[in-house]
Amino acid sequence: MGLVSGFMKYTMFIFNFIFWLCGCVILGVSIYVRVNKHGRDIISVEEDMVEVHAAANLLISVGAIIMVLGFLGCCGAVKENRFMLLLFFIGLLFIVILQIAAGVVGVVYKSKIEETFKMLFKEQVKTLTKEGSEFEIFRKNLDHFQKQFKCCGLIEGAADWGTNFDKYSESCECKSDNNTNATTDLCVDYMGKQVYKKTCGDYIIQFLKKNLLVVAGIAFGVAVIELLGLAFSLALYRQIGKK
């Protein structure tokens, strides 16, 4: 093996094998969502299928790229192939640059995220009052969401349901509470029924804001791992060149 460090070589192999497995998982799940009917039921409104397919296609591309990079890293480390290691380094460096660019864009447009989601919710509200079985799956999913997270509607609350309110009112209804003040804060009167004041749109936006720090932490952790991968591949590349 000469000057090539065995520890660095097999650490590089293990790192890239895990990287490759992650790519397999992402690719498998995204293909399932893309082609399987049940995988598309989360958002199955006709006009939203383009966005769902675009997201699935993007994940398929990401999974495939990660698999290829993982393969290059594994083979490059085990076979001590400088060309494969160089391709791995360039590919991973490109991904890191894209992540940094995405982070900068995210910070710049952070204030517009809430506005974007509200525009999306406004489009979804239209499906709550439309007739037709093709919109039923989305309504049932929102009905289940309301029941689980104690919210009602997306933008204007119970009014979003229009003439379908009576059919789905049960999941909007507030449960009685011994604390009258707490119940008043959580509920409003609508068509003679006590329903949740908080909309599901507000719940989703607040959830995203609350977990933004967690997402940032995960992104930072992934970036650290990627930088270690860059460092290991470059060091191994140089060691092989000195043999």
Looking at per-residue pLDDT, the higher value among 55 and 83 belongs to 83
Compare 61 and 110 and report the one with higher pLDDT: 61
Q: Contact 99/65 with Cβ under 8 angstroms?
A: no
Containing 230, the helix (H) or strand (E) segment is helix 212-241
Could you report the per-residue pLDDT of 61-94, keeping only the tens digit for each? 878 888 888 888 888 888 888 898 899 899 888 8
Nearest to 87 by CA among 193, 237, 228: 237
- For the residues 98-115, what does the mean pLDDT come to? 71
Supply the pLDDT for residue 111.
66
Give the pLDDT band (50/70/90) at residue 43.
very low
Residue range 20-33, pLDDT digits in tens? 888 888 788 778 76
Question: Domain limits of the chain?
Answer: 6-109+213-241, 111-204
Model-level pTM greater than 0.75? no
Residue 175 in this model has a pLDDT that exceeds 80: no
* Residue 206 near residue 156, CB atoms below 8 Å: no
Confidence of residue 36 (pLDDT cuts 50, 70, 90): low
Cβ-based burial of 175 (10 A; exposed 0-12, middle 13-18, buried ≥19)? exposed
Residue 102's CB is within 10 A of a number of other CB atoms, namely: 11
At residue 47 the predicted structure's pLDDT band, cuts being 50, 70 and 90, is very low
Supply the pLDDT for residue 55.
Answer: 61
pLDDT band at 181 (very low <50, low <70, confident <90, very high): low
Q: Which residues pair with 187 in a beta bridge?
A: 196
- Distance, in Å, from the CA atom of 114 to the CA atom of 121, rounded to the nearest integer, reads 11
